[in-house]
Amino acid sequence: MPASVLFNSFAFLIFLPIFLLFYWATRGRVRLWVMLLSSIVFYAWWDWRFVFLLLFSSVVDYSLGILLENQQNDATRKRLIVLSVAVNLGLLGFFKYFNFFADSAARISQSLGLHVSYNALKIVLPVGISFYVFKTMSYTIDVYRRAEKAERDLLKFTTFVVFFPELVAGPIVRASRMIPQLKHDHSFDYERMVSGLTLIMAGYVRKVAIADSIAPLVDVRFAHPEAHSTLSLLLGVYLYAFQIYCDFSGYSNIAIGLARVLGFDFGVNFDRPYFSRGFSEFWTRWHISLSSWLRDYLYVSLGGNRGGAWRTYRNLMLTMLLGGLWHGANWTFVAWGALHGGYLVAQRWIGPWYQRAIRAVRVPALVSHAFLVLLVFHLTCFAWIFFRSPSFSVAWQVLSGITHVHGSLLDIDNRWRILKCVLLIAALCAIEAATFLPKRRKAVIAVEPGEQVTVSAHAPQFSTAQRLAFCAACAWVLLLFGTFSGINFIYFQF
């Protein structure tokens, strides 16, 4: 992977102050140009050639948005939206899935006795393509549905697409949220700066201190599962659950915090998902910007829960299968999506029976909630095995190592380094649990226009002194436990 201006890179430490200087020194359209050009530099640092792809995607959807709004003929509008979806999915399909589908087709042909020769193309996956394609696609679909007005200012539209905090790994901030915020200048605000910085520090702790400390412990277990005991493999799976959570929510926190400092509101992308008591709740807490995208543009388009139970199950399965494939060109991701689809279907099926049983035997609510949280967490961990494994054979090896009990606690190397990670995770869980208490510091955040969802605010309304203490504590944790080897963000690859 070529050098990139990642949030945890030294280059970003140089890039950010320069950007902030120009950002706060300018106003109006000049500031938009600063945002656009800085974002292009941010992206070009990785590979300048793909800037043209990014700009192409922006210009195509900008133009199609205007044509869709101007056009009154339904048939032509349909053709335009099909063109937009085709261009966007075509880009994604070629860069992300060409080799995957070609390879899969060749394997199927071989299994049918047909010998098809296939040479894999050396296609570089443009960073962030899955994110910006979804952004632009949702924009044209909204314009098509007449839920959104077309943006006629190319500068504003392109800035919306390429804005660097969310460009390479989300959150997927939709046009309906972002473009209105680009229509006026944001003056410097002390409260926003402090709360934004608090989120950024919390994000760095999650990424640099927790996720990156866990990474080598997980890598070694998934690289050679056969060399690890049952307990060691189980530990690897649990640790991965927190690695991916801290990695991605850390990135989201940094992106959302940066945007807040600049005066923008990106919403919430993770809301303590491992406290979920069901999978439908899990998907309203995990990668909220993606799950709400899949709900609004895929699940609803497929018919949603209209049309009876079986159609709902089918739509859930299809949505999650495609959601799995979105994460990467590998059947293991599809398996992960299938498992989550299965969980959602099973929940709809079994959920009412479970509730009746709980009421009948009068299980205390706290016990029932704790059981459900543990159940959901463990089933999520099971699905993570497929998500993390590079192939099905590795996933089976991990599962086989876990189910065929062998080895002992003594077989686990680096026990005290593992304990360090466990303590950091415990501290994170304690903080999340404390802010998870009901009716405590709740904030109403508009997820999408017309939809009000109450979620606990990630940065509760603490005083600036409390925030200062929190930021200082984060800095000490980073200095003492941070991993500064520049490990990539996991979602960077998607």
What residues are annotated to the active site?
Answer: 327
CB of 227 to another protein, least distance (A): 9
Residue showing tokens 């060749």:
106
How far apart are alpha carbons 184 and 202 in whole angstroms? 29
Q: Is 56 in the site for another protein (CB under 8 A)?
A: no
Q: Is 301 in the site for another protein (CB under 8 A)?
A: no
Strands (E), 78-196: none
Question: Where in 385-404 is the site for another protein (CB under 8 A)?
Answer: none
Q: Is 411 in the site for another protein (CB under 8 A)?
A: yes
Q: Is 188 in the site for another protein (CB under 8 A)?
A: yes
How far apart are alpha carbons 139 and 375 in whole angstroms? 37
Cβ-contact 126, 50 below 8 angstroms: yes
Question: How many other CB atoms are there within 10 angstroms of residue 119's CB atom?
Answer: 8
Q: Is 469 in the site for another protein (CB under 8 A)?
A: yes
Cα–Cα distances in angstroms (integers) from residue 100 to residues 128, 385, 391, 392, in the given order: 18, 20, 13, 15
Q: Is 482 in the site for another protein (CB under 8 A)?
A: yes
Task: Name residue 427's amino acid.
Answer: A
Question: Where in 148-187 is the site for another protein (CB under 8 A)?
Answer: 187
Residue (of 424, 407, 431) closest to 482 by Cα position: 424
Residue (of 278, 284, 273, 346) closest to 312 by Cα position: 346
Candidate residues 355, 391, 464, 493; the one interacting with another protein per rule CB under 8 A: 464
Candidate residues 280, 314, 420, 422; the one interacting with another protein per rule CB under 8 A: 420
Stretch that binds another protein, among 346-354, 394-402, 440-448, 461-469 (CB under 8 A): 461-469
Beta carbon nearer to another protein, 267 or 482? 482
Q: CB within 8 A of 135, min separation 6: which ones?
A: 160, 161, 172, 173, 174, 175
Beta carbon nearer to another protein, 355 or 414? 414
- Does 216 sit behind a cis peptide bond, omega within 30 degrees of 0 on the bond before it? no
Q: Is 55 in the site for another protein (CB under 8 A)?
A: no
Q: Is 189 in the site for another protein (CB under 8 A)?
A: yes
How far apart are alpha carbons 274 and 472 in whole angstroms? 27
Q: Is 405 in the site for another protein (CB under 8 A)?
A: no
Q: Is 471 in the site for another protein (CB under 8 A)?
A: yes
Stretch that binds another protein, among 233-241, 392-400, 433-441, 469-477 (CB under 8 A): 469-477
Identify the helix (H) or strand (E) that includes residue 442. Answer: strand 442-448
Candidate residues 416, 444, 451, 454; the one interacting with another protein per rule CB under 8 A: 416
Q: Is 355 in the site for another protein (CB under 8 A)?
A: no
- Residues of this chain that bind another protein (CB under 8 A): 187-190, 193-194, 410-411, 414-417, 419-420, 464, 468-469, 471-472, 475-476, 479-482
